[in-house]
Each structure stands twice: as C-alpha cells, then as structure tokens.
Amino acid sequence: MFVKFSVLLLAGALVASPATYGAIVQKRAFPFVDPSIGGGSMLIDTLNGAGEPLNVIISGLSSPAVLNEDGIVNYARAIGFSEECLGIHLGNPFPANLGDGHGPVNQTIELRQDYGNSEVGTCLESLIGGNHFRVYFQNGPSADTGAAFLAVSKEKPVTDNHDIVDDGYNIGRNDLVSAALGTTSFDGVTYVTTAQNITGLMAAGAEGVNHGIAVDGIVTLLTVNIQ
C-alpha cells in the first residue's frame, strides 16, 4: 500500500537523542519531518551535480537505542550488513541536507552487505559488489526527530568501479526491506521491524539522480522496536 505522507514539526515536542547504544531515553514524537519543509532534499549530494535517493527511513518512533551510530551498526548486522572492510572507506563521503537546521552534513557511516559474516563479509562486497547504504540522522534544532535516513543502493563489483546496477536504487531498497522485516537479532538484541511505503517525498524518474538511473518515487519507512 502506497501512502501519501507528510509530517509537520511541532516546536518543543522533541527530546534529545541517545548518546550511545543502549541508552534509555523517551521516544521522539514524530517518525520524521519531510526535509523539503526545512530547505533540504531527499537526494544526497554525490559531488558531481547529481544525487542519490534517501529511499529508506528508520522512524523516530523506533526504539531510541536503534537511533544512534552504535545502534544502527548493531541493527545493520542483524539484517545482513556490517562496517566496511577492515574499517577502510574508499571514496569521498557524501553530504545530505535533511532540513533539520544543520544544513548539508556528511554521512554518519556507510554499511555494506556482509554475505553472512559480520567480521569480514564486507570485504567480499567490496570485491564483487552488493547492497550498501549511507546513514544520516535528522537531529538538528529545527527537526530533531532522531530518524535515520538511509541512501540504499545495489552496486557493481570493484572492476566496474562500484557503479550502481540497473535499477539499483529500487532494488537496493527492496532487498534491505525484505531482510529487515519481521524478527531479527544480533549480539543478544532482538528487533521487530515493520514497514510502510510512502509516496510524495521524492519525484519518480531519473531527473537529478546519479548515473541517470530512474527511481520509482517510493520511500519505505521502517519502525524498529527492540524486544
């Protein structure tokens, strides 16, 4: 089901984000705020005049322990992703403006498909390609929802310069969502994830999209609760 969705920010209704994984704080009041309300965009800046879609959002109504860097990493491992091979990142970080008052901010972290091995599996992804995503938190003074915006795409092998596969933005989103839905766990933490497809946040088509690869205009909102 595709849902036309918009969220308005009510000043003063939000609380501070958890500083570390496992912190216990009150949940935010909103799942996210449309970045365009604050002058932002649902396309990250790939530094070449084009952008890549923020096609998955982890709701600010998720368990707070998920909505910080350590929490996202543990959750990613529960759904088949992990940190980059040997902690090495090749290429420039890409900024995004989530309309939260911070302006353009570089990605918090990039996570790659781990092919079933959270320790070294991402080295295989770096070689043969696969799914990966960049993470951005909406936590600025004008939209402190805590939501995690993900730019997800499926990429080609290193021999093809990690270019995006045909339809790779839609495929990457769908593969991540399929892996996330239901009950997953890692390192003693169990997650229950539900999903809702949203239209109206970004335009369908290839205009302004990196590599000229069209997107279908759908953003999937995940709500992740720790059991």
pLDDT digits 0-9 by tens, 130-143: 999 999 999 999 99
Max Cα–Cα distance, the chain, nearest Å: 50
Average per-residue pLDDT for the chain:
88
> Which comes out higher in pLDDT, residue 117 or 144?
144
Q: Is the pTM of this model over 0.95?
A: no
- Look at residue 193 in the predicted model and tell me its pLDDT: 98
Mean pLDDT of the 7-28 span: 39
- Look at residue 91 in the predicted model and tell me its pLDDT: 61
Determine the number of helices (DSSP H) and then strands (DSSP E) in the chain. 3, 13
pLDDT at 103 over 60: yes
